[in-house]
Structure 1
Amino acid sequence: MNQHIAEARRILAANDRGGYTVPTDRLYPFQWNWDSAFVAMGFALYDVERAYRELERLAEGQWADGMIPHIVFHQPSDTYFPGPAVWRTPNPVPTSGITQPPVFAIALRKLHEAGGDRARSLALYEAALRWHRWWYRARDPDGTGLVALLHPWESGSDNSPAWDVALARVPTTTATPVARKDTGHVSADMRPRDADYHRFIHLVDTYADCGWNPIRQWQKAPFKVADIQTTAILLKAGEDLEVLARRFDRPAEADEIAALNDRTRRAILAQWRPQLSRFVSRDLVSGADVEAATQAGFMPLLSLDLDRAIVEAIVAEMKVWSDGLKVAFPTTKPGTSAWEPKRYWRGPAWAIIDWLLIDGLMRNRQPAAAAALRRSAIAAIEAEGFAEYFDPVTGEGCGGLGFSWTAAAYMVLAEAESA
């Protein structure tokens, strides 16, 4: 075992809080939804039992309506804002009131295929299916095939330039005093700005006042974006759920999932913009395309078998974005007015985004582009450690350190590289 793999395992052990993993100590002291799904895939390489526990602990926070929230507050901590008292959710287990990209089912299939336990896989499949149905019911009530986010935090890409136009409509007034804790752990230059945070909390207040009822939230939401990245991840999750449904001899459920997948596949394809060489999200309040140049525009690689001309255009555009950078892949196009190479989701490279894009490039028969991106991510981590993300210009590790999903990503990417 090389020293970096050993260190990655040590980080996951250090961030273990009793069957679930915190992203990093103090900055993120609870269980985060998509973080845990990535972490479970890392554990699956060497400890399938522990990987199951990661998903099972996450599923403990599932709501009666099927939503799996973005944070499960298993135990108290005063190092993070907003905590349970701000969210005011009705769930018996303290959680946030919003969700995150549905990587859960993608992880579950990998666990099951790593020699998993059928009974445990089946229980988690049923949780994943309830959540999948929730996405289409609560976040695509008009049946478009694209699912909407009602809060930037639901994307996982909290302060992405993709939200700038839609978020500008959200007031900065809050009923809840904003008591940021994040900038006490990490430089403010690497975090969302104060105005962003006030808008984030305004949205939390708005939905808490709706009693977290999905129908009322949909009606009241001042922020409503059909996100191409989340929808692409949902489609990949749907593909994996369909495979599991057939393996578990659930033909009616498999057919139901397949029909949803077909609808979403067509909807994503309709969001391709050849003049931009990427896919776009849609602002459901204004009806306009979201043309901000972010990594989300390439994420449909993950879940679509694209025409060669589209793939070639995407790969060429991705090369333009990465040209001259020390670390790929940037989350905002370099040189644009929104580009900030150290500020969270406004430019830095993230190992888990690389992981998803690499899977998408491999799916679409681009092994050379995938290998180049994989080597870039591995080199960054080996040089700088398991940072939350990396400045793509300097290579500096930024944000939180000893980060769980970076450790998981390293193990997965290193295994692929050695293979």
Structure 2
Amino acid sequence: MLDDQARAILRGNDRGGYTVPTDMLYPFQWNWDSAFAAWGFSTFDSDRAWREFETLLAAQWADGMVPHMVFHDAAPGYFPGPDVWGAGGDVPTSGISQPPVAATLMRMVWEADPEAGTERLRALYPRLLAWHRWWMQTRCASGAVAVCHPWESGRDNCPDWDVGLANVDGSGAGDYARRDAAQVDGEQRPTKLEYDRYLALVRFGRECGWDQQTIVERCPFLMADPGITFLLIRAHDDLAALGRALGEDVSEIAGWAAELRAGVQTLWNPELQSFDARDLRSGAWAGVVGSGALLCWLARCERPEMEAHLARMWDAVTYGLPSSDPEAPSFERKRYWRGPVWPQMNALIGLGLLSAGRDWDEARLREETAALIESAGFREYFDPLDAAPCGGDNFTWTAAVWLAWAGR
């Protein structure tokens, strides 16, 4: 029954060559949502899975960046829309990227049916390679991966970014209407103060023509992110595996992975005894253990001290792993990335636990994610204590995670 519902959600959110995260609330193609959609489609429609990747990567910029939003069709009333971003080529896009999970999920799609996917993989491989090179050349000067906007991390309003956002002046944001605040309980979404600052960063990017050098040098927000760093390390490993299968020379990719495995150690906060986000403008630590740090197993960068954080955060809630430390003052169990549990993060952390040989932990996380969906449906995210549904409904990545992982 839930399998049928999940497939129906993917088909219902399908707009031809791309999938929206959910109808109305998010009416465009989002980067990492799309990669999860492909993973879900691969369980019953391999051709449609590959078309999802193809459509996403067709919006790639000339410099290699794959944007976080692609505005294929008009959606009047959505804010901020393409006119606010002022970015992209033939198809308008946003001006920032998003978590680079495509290579990791593409590898799983390809391994499930190599015969159906090899030629399509061969065509997409150069685009993935260029995107990974973009990250390394534009965002890794500190050793780890930096993000220039909280939205780029995928974990929009998590407490990791508070220290960096404090230096962003959002007073000139003006009047605007948010579709998310109109359709979802405001207590589950980022605050207006946060949104004003997000828009100030979009305005900065647009005013400099989305020039990466200017953004890295002068953008008021630039933070090194353990979450993106771990995801990119794993993506490098998976891209190298795909390259080897295609007979490509992957020495450059292997070098990138080694470079980041060394560089992510700059994000070890000795006081917190955890990987932690760091403000590259001030040098200040975020000072909170977030779900990004729990991706260390996915990159095989785990340290013994992270075991205690994993156990403590997991045992403090009922369903999976919360997006932020339940014992921190900043924890809010229903507000977007400040506490709720996210099915796609559970899946990524679960893949990491499996890679590290922690089969029992992966099984527990998968079962708790399944229990969330069985209890509250295919929602965007959930209260980690009582499974209360939060955010959008009939959500693409929740359906995909059910089909490809949680519901197995």
Normalising by structure 1, we get a TM-score of 0.93
Which residue, 284, 287, 296 being the options, matches 2:283?
287
What residue number does 1:48 align with?
A: 46
Q: Aligned equivalents of 1:72 and 1:188: distance in 2?
A: 26
Q: Aligned equivalents of 2:88 and 2:9: distance in 1?
A: 33
CA-CA distance at 1:139 after TM superposition: 1.1
Q: Aligned equivalents of 1:243 and 1:200: distance in 2?
A: 36
Amino acid at match of 2:119: A
Q: In the alignment, is the contact (CA less than 8 A) between 1:174 and 1:205 conserved in 2?
A: no
CA-CA distance at 1:382 after TM superposition: 0.6
Bigger drift between 321-330 and 231-240 goes to 321-330
Counting only pairs closer than 5 Å after superposition, residues 29-48 of structure 1 correspond to structure 2 as 29-48=27-46
> Sequence identity, in percent?
43
Q: In the alignment, is the contact (CA less than 8 A) between 2:88 and 2:94 conserved in 1?
A: no
Q: In the alignment, is the contact (CA less than 8 A) between 1:60 and 1:93 conserved in 2?
A: no
What residue number does 2:59 align with?
A: 61
What residue number does 1:326 align with?
A: 318
Q: Aligned equivalents of 1:174 and 1:29: distance in 2?
A: 26
Residue 176 of structure 2: SS of its match in structure 1?
A: coil
Residue 278 of structure 2: SS of its match in structure 1?
A: strand
Residue 146 of structure 1: SS of its match in structure 2?
A: coil
Once the two structures are superposed, residues 341-380 of structure 1 have per-residue CA deviations (whole angstroms, 9 ceiling, x without a partner) of: 0000000000011001111111122222222111111001
Counting only pairs closer than 5 Å after superposition, residues 7-406 of structure 1 correspond to structure 2 as 7-115=5-113, 116-140=116-140, 142=141, 144-174=142-172, 177-251=175-249, 254-273=250-269, 276-304=272-300, 306=302, 310-311=303-304, 313-406=305-398
- Say what the alpha-carbon RMSD is for the aligned residues: 1.5
Q: In the alignment, is the contact (CA less than 8 A) between 2:22 and 2:396 conserved in 1?
A: yes
Once the two structures are superposed, residues 125-172 of structure 1 have per-residue CA deviations (whole angstroms, 9 ceiling, x without a partner) of: 1111110011111112x3x43111000000111000000110010001
Residue 295 of structure 1: SS of its match in structure 2?
A: coil
Amino acid at match of 1:250: E
Q: In the alignment, is the contact (CA less than 8 A) between 2:159 and 2:286 conserved in 1?
A: no
Amino acid at match of 1:71: M
Bigger drift between 159-168 and 276-285 goes to 276-285
Q: Aligned equivalents of 2:204 and 2:386: distance in 1?
A: 40
CA-CA distance at 1:30 after TM superposition: 0.3
Q: In the alignment, is the contact (CA less than 8 A) between 1:80 and 1:182 conserved in 2?
A: no
Normalising by structure 2, we get a TM-score of 0.96
Q: Aligned equivalents of 1:132 and 1:386: distance in 2?
A: 31
Q: Aligned equivalents of 1:111 and 1:410: distance in 2?
A: 15
Long gaps (5+) in structure 1: none
Residue 292 of structure 2: SS of its match in structure 1?
A: helix
Q: In the alignment, is the contact (CA less than 8 A) between 1:79 and 1:181 conserved in 2?
A: yes
Q: Aligned equivalents of 2:318 and 2:258: distance in 1?
A: 39
Q: Aligned equivalents of 2:231 and 2:186: distance in 1?
A: 30
Q: Aligned equivalents of 2:22 and 2:13: distance in 1?
A: 6
Q: In the alignment, is the contact (CA less than 8 A) between 1:11 and 1:404 conserved in 2?
A: yes
CA-CA distance at 1:112 after TM superposition: 1.9
Query: How many residues are aligned here?
Result: 406
Amino acid at match of 1:121: L
